[in-house]
Structure 1
Amino acid sequence: MLIQFPFYAGVAAILTHAAAPDGATLASAIAGAFTNVGRDLFDPAVAVYSAVLGIFIPSGGGKWLVEAPYVMQAAIDVKAHLGWTVQIYNAAEALPNLINPFWMIPVLGLVSLRPRDVVGFTFLQFLINAPLVLFMTWLFSKTLQYIPPVLP
């Protein structure tokens, strides 16, 4: 904990403050990449990105701190429903937990199993659930209208 969250803060600072010669930050470049994907593929693109990043940054809160500024800016740019974008993030963020089940370590100790005893099953669940999550993020995004954010 003492090392993990300061590391995430450093990553967030690099993304939001380190500027290229043209003044653009890495976060704005990533937001631009999401915007270029277009509205139809925006939701699955966010899901894939969140799942891949979840393998390297396993904390949902720390990952959201890093991703939120540019993912939400891209959602505003492509006029995606902001609440649904957050839900896509949450659904896809859980997928890497099936590959790397650190959340199971206390339970495995209680039932006298090792991670290798269950990782085959959890990886199979990942292979089944990943396409299902990607399809549902795309399908359900068609049911929601964009509501622009209201700033006070």
Structure 2
Amino acid sequence: MGILQFLTAEWIAVLALRWTLIVVFVGFAIAKLPKSEGAGFADYVRQPPVLRWGPRLLGARLFSIAVALAELAVAALLFLGTFSATLGFLGAWAAVAVLSITLSMLLFTDRWQEQNGFPFLGEGAEFLIKDAAIAAAAYMLAVHESARLLAG
């Protein structure tokens, strides 16, 4: 039977989920690499306590690059998780952690629409909402990878 035994609906769904997350994390990283992005990224992370130390300690550009490298590492772990349950477990839970940190930025944003105020997110914060769906996808993969690791 060979490869056909792997072509179950669950296997295809997990593969799609994994590759979608890989593309998302590579995209997140690429967006932070241009020189022009350092200051913009530093502006986004100036309030959340989990991240505000970064630009102060490393400078805006270097912190942006460091976060991009961390996101590329998550993407690499997700990719390697195709072949290793342990690396898949680490990558999926790292994705959940990164997205949880990103979502925590909503708690500290001052980017409400000027004319409407809370709860209407304005420019620079509405992009965070999509991360809730991406975090749910990462969590689903993390649950799958946890079961895969426990199954041996």
Tell me the TM-score normalized by structure 1.
0.29
Tell me the TM-score normalized by structure 2.
0.29
